Amino acid sequence: RKEVEQDPGPFNVPEGATVAFNCTYSNSASQSFFWYRQDCRKEPKLLMSVYSSGNEDGRFTAQLNRASQYISLLIRDSKLSDSATYLCVVNIGDSSYKLIFGSGTRLLVRP
Amino acid sequence: EPEVTQTPSHQVTQMGQEVILRCVPISNHLYFYWYRQILGQKVEFLVSFYNNEISEKSEIFDDQFSVERPDGSNFTLKIRSTKLEDSAMYFCASSENWSDQETQYFGPGTRLLVL
């Protein structure tokens, strides 16, 4: 089983749509969770951390379900500029601070 | 906003040659990382570095790889004898503190092509 698994997409949505990304992780001891965004041929950039209680940042909402080992990201009112690959990222912690990346889900927002 | 910088942006080399990829982490950061991303694949951890020592390395980071902080600002990744499969984007990252919640900031990457 992959350490971090995501639907590869692509998701092709019109502007203004709501889109949801899902992610599962295999290591139940994982401590920290993040969503990164990666534009084509660019570096990953932190979009938001994911907290146990769920958290929101403007149009973006992240949820974590530790029991199901499941992370989600919801984008409301999508913009053309949201087109990118969204990377689910996990940090096991416990003296290891390497980031473990999913393969990413590609989002295309069309006019 | 402070950022991680990397040079060169692109490097083409012949198989068997040595390459050195350079990174300048954010100035007050103490923890440094190298990741790589083969075209079309996921980002993979290579190595983490603190206090002039490797803290952790992955299976990918074999004897052909080494890291160094030669001065107060640069952080380098050396590949001694490149192989075709080393072709990838190499990202340097840095963080201020050492914790699982700490944000790692990524540089723009060096695209390495081994012929």
Please list the pLDDT of chain A residue by residue as tens digits (111 residues).
Answer: 789 999 888 999 999 999 999 999 999 888 899 999 999 989 999 999 998 888 999 999 999 999 999 999 999 999 999 999 999 999 987 777 889 999 999 999 999
| pLDDT at residue A35 in the model | 97
Contact indicator for B92, B25 with CB cutoff of 8 Å: yes
Residues of chain A with Cβ-Cβ distance to B91 below 8 Å are 43-44
pLDDT per position as a tens digit, B2-36: 899 999 999 999 999 999 999 999 998 989 999 99
To the nearest whole angstrom, how far is the Cα of A59 from the nearest Cα of chain B? 21
Cβ <8 Å between B108 and A46: no
Residue of chain A whose Cα is closest to the Cα of B95:
A97
Q: Which residues on A lie below 8 Å from B26 (Cβ)?
A: none
Q: What is the largest CA-CA distance in chain B?
A: 40
Q: Is B35 on the interface with A (CB under 8 A)?
A: yes
Alpha carbons B104 and B33: distance in angstroms, whole number:
9
Query: Using the beta-carbon criterion (under 8 Å), do A91 and B56 form an inter-chain contact?
Result: no
For residue B93, which amino acid is it?
A
Residue spans of alpha helices (H) in B17-96: none
